[in-house]
Amino acid sequence: MATFADIKSGRNIFDMESIHLKKDGTSVYLSFNAVVMRDADGKVMGTQGTAKDISDRVRAEEITRLHQTELAHVTRVSTMGEMATSLAHELNQPLTATMNYIDGCLLRLKSGEPISPKIVEALEKTSQETHRAGDIIRQLRTFIGKVDQKFEKVSINDAVRVVAAMARPELQQHRIDLRLDLDKTDPIVAGHEILLQQVILNLVRNATEALQKMGVNQRILTISTAENAGEITLVVSDNGPGVAADKVEHLFQPFNTDKEGGLGLGLAICRSVIESHGGQIGFAPTAEQGAAFNIQLPSAPLNLDAESVVPK
């Protein structure tokens, strides 16, 4: 209907893609390219053009997208494996606290002490720590799970906060100062929350590894978000040693890595994910030293809920 409206307003050439159904219910994807035919008075008489069956191309793109999704999933699981030690420590804290609170309550009750405010307080703290442990496990299970193909509204700030919580044990272990500078307007993008979290976490872990080469009192990692004129910017920067000039050109190419045992797929997947969201990712050295990865994403359309679609 939008194309017809353009024709009425004077448009003379158009192209569009559409989906049709065969009698057996299977889909046919067509690409139309046509010119508008008008009479001497400029009245629309019809159109003349061609329709090309692009079903094979669309299905090939879908297969590629599914393969990328599976690869991203494998990488997420691998990332959690690499973070296992720090995550185990993060879980051990609430579990140890829970055990201590329960043991304390049992000792008091076995000694014949009546239920007192101190016992009630200890049980309340036990409940809080149990919920904390459950939230950590739930977060991890969600992160390593499969993602839906539908786009949804995603708060970039919330995605950053989730990643910050997951990375916190590792950052504390290496004495890295994490600083968040998040846009107060809470920018919203259209996309997959888990995949966007994966991109941010990958950049954070790369920065963490780079910062380990710096003195313990100099390690700063900053994540900032901003929105301007319908474009959302996310920057992950650090004051580490930076990236050698001769390696910048190949940063986002697959199998490009200096890590022992690494596959070199992290940044390649990041670029694939961001481009599938209609955005761009780039690298630039910071003003003094270090590195900054910049991500630009379009803001979510207001009617996304009504137009939730499989990404292209």
- How close are the terminal C-alpha atoms of the chain, in Å? 21
The domain spanning residue 23 has which CATH number? 2.10.70.100
Q: What is the pLDDT of residue 84?
A: 67
Place of tokens 């930076």: 242
pLDDT band at 286 (very low <50, low <70, confident <90, very high): confident
Would residue 12 count as lying in a domain?
Answer: yes
How does pLDDT run across 257-270, given as a tens digit for each residue?
665 544 456 788 88
Same domain, 186 and 289: yes
Same domain, 95 and 214: no
Residue 291 β-bridge partners:
238, 285
295: helix, coil or strand? strand
Same domain, 63 and 90: yes
Would residue 250 count as lying in a domain?
Answer: yes
Same domain, 176 and 293: yes
Same domain, 186 and 253: yes
What one-character-per-residue DSSP string does 50-117 give? EEEE-HHHHHHHHHHHHHHHHHHHHHHHHHHHHTHHHHHHHHHHHHHHHHHHHHHHHHHHHTTPPP-H
Same domain, 154 and 258: yes
How does pLDDT run across 52-66, given as a tens digit for each residue?
998 888 888 777 666
Q: What is the pLDDT of residue 287?
A: 66
Q: What is the pLDDT of residue 135?
A: 75
Same domain, 277 and 299: yes
Q: What is the pLDDT of residue 101?
A: 84
Calpha distance 282→213 (Å, rounded): 23
Query: Cβ contacts of residue 14 below 8 Å, gap of 6+?
Result: 3, 6, 7, 32, 33, 34, 36, 47
Domain that holds residue 153: 147-306
Instruction: Tally the C-alpha atoms within 13 A of residue 185's C-alpha that lie toward its C-beta.
Output: 13
Q: What is the pLDDT of residue 257?
A: 60
Same domain, 157 and 138: no
Same domain, 14 and 125: no
Is the pTM of the predicted complex or chain greater than 0.95?
Answer: no
Buried b or exposed e, range 166-205, using 16+ CB within 10 angstroms? bbebbbeebebebeeebbeeebbbbbbbbbbbbbbbbbbb
Would residue 312 count as lying in a domain?
Answer: no
Q: How many structural domains does the chain have?
A: 3
Q: Which of 15-19, 40-44, 72-76, 127-131 has the lowest mean pLDDT?
A: 72-76
